[in-house]
């Protein structure tokens, strides 16, 4: 147990998440240019098999797990919601056929919550019925990244399946008797202490399926709080932004210097950022976005100063949250070791 095939791989949240588990990727499937370059940079020995519709041509060993988040634009409330009629949404059915071809023991599928209501629920029913017809029992759950140690509200639907008729395998992997937050931080007191400098961010769907994350910074030393603003409210702020209330806090760094991270108590704007009272709007840096998703610093900075920020933002916005995938992986691993009784 421990080999996996990743489809619609993006920049590989799964490989970052499952490295501590000792699991190894046998192949990726990604067609976008920049994410493919990120994969080549970090995983030069893992083949990028390209278009997932060509899965029958792939010469790879049988994986233990298949993981993928097929395109969400056709199911997102921000899109036209054509569901399975959209070619991107139709890749959901390709995912079923791919599972039937390789027959992995487990699969993990991720998408936006909107898939549950797409076509009045009929699209998701078609998907789950198809999975059961090819021999998988499954469970699904909406998980929010903010409960897994990153300051971002990001609700996503996860379906976990096991190649058997026994529903208890996927159920046990995806549902714990203890709280989700207990996995990362069992003490409520520790969570409250951390909340002073790290609170939730809102994630909404932007144009072209890019998820724009707006961070709500923590409480300042003078007792005031920063608040969240949307980029569309300011014509000059077109990407990821954070609204920072400088107030009278003398510890604010001079404009032009970089704010330390998403856990910072204060931040900086920039000479060209919109000024509202004593506050400024600034874009989140790519490093901050990497941290919002649980990636290592500069994970997407593959060409130094020549790496385009726009490509990094888009790739990160389309990715899964790393700690959520790790938690699911550990649930699968626990079932593999102990069975579903424990």
Which is the catalytic residue, given 8, 72, 259, 289?
A: 72
Euclidean distance between CA atoms 257 and 265, whole angstroms: 15
CA atoms within 13 A of residue 70's CA, in its CB half-sphere: 25
Cα distance between residue 216 and residue 229, in whole Å: 9
Q: Is 72 a catalytic residue?
A: yes
Reading the block at residue 116, the tokens are: 């549950």
> Which residue numbers are catalytic?
72
């Amino acid at each position: 147990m421990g080999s996996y095939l990743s489809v619609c791989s993006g920049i590989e949240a799964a490989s970052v998440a499952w490295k501590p588990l000792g699991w190894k990727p046998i192949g990726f499937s990604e067609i976008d240019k920049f994410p493919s370059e990120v994969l080549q940079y970090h995983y030069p020995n893992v083949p990028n098999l390209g278009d997932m519709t060509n899965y029958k041509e792939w010469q790879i060993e049988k994986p233990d797990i298949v993981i993928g988040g097929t395109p969400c634009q056709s199911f997102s409330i921000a899109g036209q919601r054509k569901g399975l009629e959209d070619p991107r949404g139709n890749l959901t059915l390709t995912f079923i056929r791919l599972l039937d071809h390789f027959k992995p023991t487990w699969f993990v599928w991720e998408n936006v919550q909107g898939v549950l209501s797409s076509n009045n629920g009929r699209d998701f029913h078609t998907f789950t019925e198809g999975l059961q017809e090819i021999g998988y029992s499954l469970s699904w759950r909406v998980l929010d990244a903010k409960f897994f140690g990153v300051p971002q509200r990001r609700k996503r639907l996860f379906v976990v399946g096991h190649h058997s008729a026994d529903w208890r395998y996927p159920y046990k992997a995806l549902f714990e008797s203890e709280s989700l937050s207990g996995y990362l931080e069992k003490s409520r007191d520790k969570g409250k202490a951390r909340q002073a400098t790290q609170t939730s961010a809102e994630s909404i769907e932007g144009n072209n399926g890019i998820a724009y994350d707006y961070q709500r910074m923590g409480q300042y030393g003078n007792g005031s709080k920063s608040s969240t603003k949307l980029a569309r409210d300011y014509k000059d702020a077109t990407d990821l932004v954070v609204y920072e209330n400088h107030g009278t806090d003398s510890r604010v760094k001079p404009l032009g210097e970089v704010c330390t991270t998403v856990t910072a108590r204060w931040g900086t704007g920039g000479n060209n950022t919109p000024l509202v009272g004593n506050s400024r709007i600034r874009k989140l840096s790519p490093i901050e976005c990497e941290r919002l998703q649980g990636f290592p610093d500069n994970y997407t900075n593959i060409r130094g100063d020549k790496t385009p920020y726009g490509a990094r933002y888009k790739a990160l916005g389309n990715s899964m949250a790393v700690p959520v995938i790790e938690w699911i992986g550990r649930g699968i691993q626990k079932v593999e070791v102990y069975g579903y009784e424990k």
